Amino acid sequence: MDLISRIAAHFRDAIALHEQCQDTLAGPAAAAVDALVFALSNDGKILACGNGGSAADAQHFVAELVGRFERERLPLAAVTLSADTSILTAVGNDFGYDRIFSQQVNALGRPGDVLVAISTSGNSANVIEAIDAAHSRDVRVIALTGKGGGRIGAMLTEDDIHLCVPHDRTLRIQEIHMLLLHALCDGIDAQLLGDL
C-alpha cells in the first residue's frame, strides 16, 4: 500500500465510523446535553478528567465552556481535573496516581454536579476511581469510552450516561470523542441561548 492509499484509508474508516455513531450516539449525546444544562442551570458545575489525549480533550472541552464555543455567552462553571500539575504531582506522590482525580472529585464535587469522565479503553484506573468518588458524592457521570466500555461501562448506574464509541482503535475513538464534546458544547449553547 502506498502512502496516499494509506492516508485515504484513514478518511474512509473515519467516515464509516462517523456514520455509525450518528445512528447510535445522537440520542445518548442529547441526554448528556440535557444533564449538563440541568446542572449548569441549577448552580452545578462540570468536572472533566482523562489521561493523555483524553486529558487534552477534557481540557479542550472545559476551555470551550469557560471561554466560549462559537457564540458569546456568560462563562460556564467547569473545571479540568487533569490540568493542575501541583495537585497531580502532590496527590500522585503522596497517595498514588490512581487517586489524582478522585481526590479532586471529593474536594470539589457536590450533589448536582456532573463528571465528564473520558477513557478510550474504559479501563483507566484513575478515571474509575473518579467515577467511584462521583457516585459517593451524588455527582452524575457522563462517560466517554470506546472498546466496548471496559470496566467503566460495567460500573455506570442508571442515572449515568455512557457515550461508548463502537471501535477498538484509539485514534478513531478519540476522533469521535472530540466530535461528541463539540456536539455537547453546541447543544449546551443552543439550550442556554434559546435556540431549542
Binding residues for Zn(2+): 60, 64, 174, 182
Distance CA 178, CA 105 (A): 23
Question: Terminus-to-terminus CA distance in the chain, angstroms?
Answer: 47
Distance CA 187, CA 174 (A): 20
CA torsion through residues 103, 104, 110, 111, sign = negative
Distance CA 180, CA 175 (A): 9
Query: Residue 161: left if φ>0, alpha if ψ -120 to 50, beta else—which one?
Result: beta
Q: Give the phi and the psi of residue 165 in degrees, each rounded to 5.
A: -75, 125
Calculate the dihedral angle through the C-alpha atoms of 175, 65, 117, 26, rounding to the nearest 10 degrees. Answer: -60
| Binding-site residue positions | 51-53, 60, 64, 93-94, 119-121, 124, 174, 182
Q: Please check whether residue 177 is in contact with residue 19, taking contact to mean a CB–CB distance below 8 angstroms.
A: no
| Binding-site residue positions for substrate | 51-53, 64, 93-94, 119-121, 124, 174
